[in-house]
Amino acid sequence: MYPFLRLAKESLKARRAPRLGLFGTHVGRHLCWPWDLDMWLEMNNGRILTLFDLGRIALARRTGLVAAMRREGWGMAVAGASVRYRRRVRAFDRLEMRTRMLGWDARFFYVEQSMWRGKDCTAHLLVRAALTDAGGLVATDRAAAALDLAPESPPLPDWVTAWIAAEAERPWPPMTGPADRDAANAAAA
């Protein structure tokens, strides 16, 4: 179930927090509750992604992006992600989440997020997000103008541009659709 109480709490905290510049870092604090655990008694990977959602929402509110989205009638969608899980999170672990905008290209915004337990990074996420309207994706230069920013992004880190290039090489649609299954079954017969 989606953590609506956490969403309400984080939204209220973000509303009361000082405004951030677009490239500022939002820091959120969370506790791993027993209902966040999987059968191995560690935080479920899906719950980690959901908590990262809350961090992006708070960052969007604090940077003025939510206000611009409401004014323009835009929505936001995750268009891709790469995550690393490195340390287990157990019940009642206290976590600090850091969320920051890295930049954008012609279609997508790139956001980096990390989750920390003390000095240990437990998870790291790169998200490609898009603003949307009734016509589909909103060009990032339009979004930059709505936020009174220059249309060009600061340079993205090399590891992000390498990820973008790797994603461009990834086949779409994936090679695991029904036609592929049928062809594999015919070849095996």
Domain boundaries, the chain: 4-188
In contact, 171 and 120? CB cutoff 8 Å: no
Does this model's pTM top 0.95? My answer is: no
Query: Which of the four pLDDT bands, split at 50, 70 and 90, describes residue 181?
Result: low
- 3-class secondary structure, 128: strand
CA nearest to 99, candidates 1, 30, 33, 3? 30
Report how far Cα 125 is from the mean position of its chain's Cα atoms: 7
Which tens digit of pLDDT belongs to each residue from 45-102? 999 999 999 999 999 999 999 999 999 999 999 999 999 999 999 999 999 999 999 9
pLDDT at 156 over 90: yes
* Residue type for position 7: L
> Which residues, other chains included, contact 24 with Cβ-Cβ below 8 Å and sequence gap of 6+?
62, 63, 100
Cα–Cα distance, 152 to 46 (Å, whole number): 33
* Residue type for position 100: R
* Higher-confidence position of 89 and 174: 89
Cα–Cα distance, 62 to 29 (Å, whole number): 16
Query: Which of the four pLDDT bands, split at 50, 70 and 90, describes residue 8?
Result: confident
DSSP 189: -
Cα–Cα distance, 72 to 66 (Å, whole number): 10
Q: 4-188: what fold? A: Thiol Ester Dehydrase; Chain A (3.10.129)
Question: Which pLDDT score is estimated for 14?
Answer: 87
Q: How many residues does the chain have?
A: 189
pLDDT at 13 over 80: yes
CA nearest to 123, candidates 82, 62, 92, 153? 82
Question: Which pLDDT score is estimated for 178?
Answer: 72
